[in-house]
Amino acid sequence: MVQAYRADTEDADTGPRTGSRFQALRHRLATDRGIWRRGILLALCSVFLTVVMVFHSDIPNAVGNLGSLIETFLPWLGVLLPVLLILGLVRRSATAVIALVLPVAVWLNLFGGLLFADKSGSGGDLTVATHNVNAGNPDPAGTAQQVAGSGADIVALQELPTGKVAAYEDALADRYPHHSVQGTVGLWSKYPVTDSSPVDIKLGWTRAMRATVTTPEGRIKVYVAHLPSVRVKLNAGFTANQRDDSADALGEAIADEPLERVVLLGDLNGTMNDRSLHAVTAQMRSTQGAAGDGFGFSWPAAFPMARIDQIMVRGVEPLASWTLPATDSDHLPIAARVQL
């Protein structure tokens, strides 16, 4: 009886207390004019952040490739949202908190599907993997075996130094009887590889190739590419001009490819949001965007901040895409399963 009485008393008290808090909040909103006047600057920050995300493609590249730099790290603008929320609450500003609805809605529209939806499916005819192994990798054989351990039918490697190519070939020979190395990129396959040749991406040396792979479901053309690196410099901004020219050349080569089914594997040193890769991204689908789980960031391996390693397809249906465990490289390997 005593317990029942106490419970009834607590339940009875809960209602008035909750009601009192709500009434106090209403009273503050109605009487404390400062709650609307405070935080105007925070509200303007939210509006500015919204404009940047909505119109990122209109930010000019004329000065330091600023537009491409912002697009490379565009998802990370979401980190500013909880910061603005905390500051708004600390300032007790209704204006700042309400204004935050704008950038939150835009960010969720842009990236919510990647963050909260698992689009991967089962089945598939072919598993492919790609990895920038890093020219200074101290364990080529171990790295090659780790990537091969993913069960991929086709493996593409980039940044292969001349003196270490044999180590990768020996490590992959048992699993992949067919392979081709062109310059600093290579392709290993369980299925026959023919018509292998370099692709000119305007560098003066070979960092891209193509080859025909004959699978049980038919032929596909596989491109392997390593576009030039980009840098952020205080005196020059985002130095990506060489990368951009190479992307245009790679896009032209793929556009001229007569075979309908095409798979591109490689380190493009750019994200799908970067307008400067338009020559490639306009004609191919990202397996991560179509069938990935999460952002799939691949670089740097110690703390991935961007997806600059890509698996893209044309005339092929992506079913799943994922990152593989770290190796001794500064990039994470990535893999995808596709339906031919």
Q: What is the DSSP string of 14-69?
A: HHHHHHHHHHHHHHHHHH-THHHHTTHHHHHHHHHHHHHHHTGGGS-STTTTHHHH
Mean pLDDT of the chain: 90
Domain 126-339 has CATH 3.60.150.10: no
Pairing state between β 154-158 and 126-132: parallel
- Does 23 or 206 have the greater pLDDT score? 206
* Six-digit token string for 262: 């095409």
- pLDDT exceeds 80 at position 2: no
Distance between CA 186 and CA 200 in Å, rounded?
A: 15
Is 340 within 8 Å of 261 (Cβ atoms)? yes
What pLDDT digit, counting tens, does each position of 241-258 carry?
899 999 999 999 999 999
Query: Whole-prediction pTM value?
Result: 0.86
Closest C-alpha among 96, 70, 72, 94 to residue 83: 96
pLDDT band at 22 (very low <50, low <70, confident <90, very high): low
In sequence order, what are the beta bridge partners of 116?
none
Residues of the chain with CATH 3.60.10.10: 126-339
Write down the H helix ranges in 55-128: 66-72, 80-90, 94-99, 101-116
Distance between CA 89 and CA 104 in Å, rounded?
A: 16
pLDDT band at 193 (very low <50, low <70, confident <90, very high): very high
The stretch 73-99 carries a mean pLDDT of 95
Burial letters 21-42, b for 16+ CB under 10 A, else e: eeeeeeeeeeeeeebeebbeeb
Distance between CA 336 and CA 310 in Å, rounded?
A: 10
* Six-digit token string for 310: 């890509």
Largest CA distance in the chain: 90
Could you count the other beta carbons within 10 Å of the beta carbon of residue 125? 17
Q: Of 95-109, 220-234, 281-295, 303-317, where does mean pLDDT reach its minimum?
A: 220-234
What pLDDT digit, counting tens, does each position of 256-290 carry?
999 999 999 999 999 999 999 999 999 999 999 89
Of all helices (H) and strands (E), which one includes residue 320? strand 317-323
- pLDDT exceeds 50 at position 29: yes
* pLDDT of 10: 47
Distance between CA 37 and CA 31 in Å, rounded?
A: 12
* Six-digit token string for 328: 């001794």
The stretch 44-58 carries a mean pLDDT of 96
Is 230 within 8 Å of 239 (Cβ atoms)? yes
Is 161 within 8 Å of 135 (Cβ atoms)? yes
Q: Of 150-154, 171-175, 177-181, 234-238, where does mean pLDDT reach its minimum?
A: 234-238
Could you count the other beta carbons within 10 Å of the beta carbon of residue 58? 10
C-alpha dihedral, 225 to 237 to 326 to 196, nearest 10°: 10
* pLDDT of 119: 74
Closest C-alpha among 74, 73, 72, 70 to residue 59: 70
* Six-digit token string for 1: 């009886």
Residue 47, CA distances (Å) to 2, 59, 75, 177 in order: 56, 16, 17, 57
- Per-residue DSSP letter, 270: S
